[in-house]
Amino acid sequence: MDSDRLLPYTFSLYSDDEVYYDDVYASDDDDRDLEDNRVNSTSEKSYHLLNEDDLVQRQQKDITNVTTVLSIPRDSACMLLLRYNWYVSRLHEAWFQDEAKVRGSVGLLEVDPAVKFPRTDGKIVDCGICFDSVRKCDTATCGCDHSFCKMCWKGYVSTAVNDGPGCLTLRCPEPSCDAAVCPDMINELATVTEKKRYDHFWLMTYVESSNKIKWCPGPGCDYAVEFADDFEIGSYDVSCFCKYGFCWKCMEDAHRPLNCETGGGDDGRACNAYTKEGGGVPAEQQRELAKKAIERYTHYYERWAANEKSRKQALSDLHKIESDDLMTLSLNYSLPETQLQFIIDAWLQIVECMCVLKWTYAYGYYIPETEEAKRIFFEYVQGEAESGLERLHLCAEKELQTYIMNEDDDASEEQFNCFRVKLSDLTRVTRSYFENLVRALENGLSDVDSHEAQTKGDTGFDQGAAGGSSSNVRGRSRAGQASDGSKRMRMTTMRRPMNDTQRHAAWMAGESWSNDQLGDQDR
C-alpha cells in the first residue's frame, strides 16, 4: 500500500462554518451571544418549558373554549374535559353528536346551581348519612334527590381529597347515584388547604392526559415540558431550568447518542433466565471467555461511572458559581451579572457534554467485536471529544479562578475581556463538535460502513471488519442526515500519534468522505 495514503490524519466533526482552536483564540465580536440550546442546539430545540402559571393559563383557555361553544358553566366544562382527557375537539364532536349520552357518562345533571345549596329553605329534613334532623338550608346535593347535611358532606369531601386524584371523579354519597360532585361543591365544602390540593390535582391531570406534555422528573422540580416535535426528527433530550437533563421519550437520564432501548445498560437478555452457553467449548476456555467479558464490561462501566461522577461535580461547581462567584466577578470588574452569562453557558455546556461522553462508553460497549474498524474509529473520535471537553473544562475552572481571586489586581479588565472571548469560543466549538459527534454515532458511524462496502466491491476481499452495523448501536434514524454526514467532516492536521493498526482503520473509515471533500474543494 502506498505510504502516502497512511499519512497521519484525523477528521473533525465540526461544522463547515466553525474554526478549530488549539492555543489561539480570537474574535472580533466580544458580545457574541451563545445559543441557549447547547448540546442539542442544531437539532432545532423542539420543546418548551412550562411553569405552573403557563399550565394554568392553557388549562383555563381550554375551559373557556368549552363554556363558550357548549354554553355550559365552567364547572361542567371541567368535568367534561376530564372525561375526554382534555381533548377539546373530541369533546365537541361527542357533545354535538349525543349530548344526553355525554352527560350520562360524566354524571352531569342539568340543574340550577342554587338547587345544590338551598340557602333559605327552613324545612326540617333527615340527613341520609348521619340521620340527624337538620334544616334544608344546612344540606347540600349534587342536583339529584339525595340530600345530606353539610357536616357529612365536608367529611366526605375531605376524605376524598386527602386520598388523592380520585376526588376529581367523586360521585354522590348515595351508592346507587352517579351524579358528579363538581368543582363548585368542592369550593363550597373544602378547607383552604384541601382546595389547593384539589386544584393541584386538576393541573396534574391536565399534564398527564396530554401526549405532548410531561412533568420534569428532576427532584423537586415543578416544571412541565411540552414536546412539539413530530417524534421522528431531532433529539428527545431535554434540559430543564432545574438543570436536570432527561430523555422526554423514556423519562430516564439523558442518554444521547444511545437510543432508549440501549440507554438502559440492559443488553436485552433476561437477567433471571439461565441459558446454557458454550456447547462443546472446554470448561477452561469458557472461564477465560467469561473473565474477558467481565473485564470488558468493567472497563466500560468504570469509565461510564467516572464521567457521571464528573458530571455531578461539574453541576455542583456550577451551583457555586451561580450563588457566589458571579457576584465576586461582578464586583471585581464592575459588570452586571447579566454580562457574565457566558460563564454559566460554558458550565452548562460542560455538564451536558459530560452526560453525552458518559453514554458514549455504553455505545462503545455495544459495538460488535466483528466491527474492528468501527471500534477503532469510534475510540479515536471519542478521545478527541474528551480532549476538547478537557480544554473547555480547564478554561472554565482553572483560568476562571484567576479572575475570581484577583488577589493582586494582576488580571486587568482587558485580560478579562480576552478570557471572555476565549471561553465563549471554546464553548461554541465544543458544542458544535459534540452535536455532530452525537449525530454521527446515532447514524451508527455509517461512513465506516459505506466505505467498507465500497472497498469490498472494489477489491473483492474483506478489510477485516464486518460491513453491517449493530442495531443496538445505530440508534434511531434521522431524516436527511445520511446525505449531509460527509459534509460535516473534513481533514485536519494530526494532533496525536497513531499506531499502524489505528492509521489503517482510520484510513479505511475516512477515505470515502475525504475524497468527497477533496472533490468538493476542487470544484
State residue 274 phi and psi, 5-degree precision.
-90, 130
> Could you tell me the three cell numbers for 455?
472497498
Which SS3 state, helix, strand or coil, does residue 492 take? strand
> Which secondary-structure segment (H or E) carries 500?
helix 500-522
Sign of CA dihedral 166, 168, 172, 177: negative
Sort 433 into a burial class: Cβ within 10 Å, 0-12 / 13-18 / 19+: buried
Distance between CA atoms of 469 and 371, rounded to whole angstroms?
8
CA–CA gap between residue 264 and residue 252 (Å, rounded) = 8
Contact indicator for 84, 91 with CB cutoff of 8 Å: yes
Provide the β-strand partners of residue 490. 12
The residues assigned a catalytic role are 271
Sign of CA dihedral 146, 150, 152, 157: positive
DSSP string for residues in 283-319: HHHHHHHHHHHHHHHHHHHHHHHHHHHHHHHHHHHHH
φ, ψ dihedrals at 82, nearest 5°:
-60, -40
Q: Strand, helix or coil at 135?
A: strand
Find where cell 471533500 sits: 517
Distances (CA, A) of 245 to 218, 221, 431: 8, 12, 16
C-alpha cell at 466: 464486518
Tell me if residue 232 falls in helix, strand or coil: coil
- Three state DSSP letters for 70-124: HCCCHHHHHHHHHHCCCCHHHHHHHHHHCHHHHHHHHCCCCCCHHHHCCCCCCCE
Grid cell locating 325:
462567584
> What value, to the nearest 5°, has the Cα angle with vertex 324 and ends 320 and 328?
135
Residues in the chain: 523
Backbone angles phi, psi at 390, to 5 degrees: -65, -40
Residue type, 340: L
Q: How far apart are CA 379 and CA 365, in angstroms?
A: 11
| Cell numbers given for 251 | 423519562
Q: Residues 6 or more apart from 53 whose CB is under 8 A from it?
A: none
246 beta partners: 238, 253
| Cα–chain center distance at 145 | 51
- Give the number of other Cβ atoms within 10 Å of residue 71's Cβ: 7
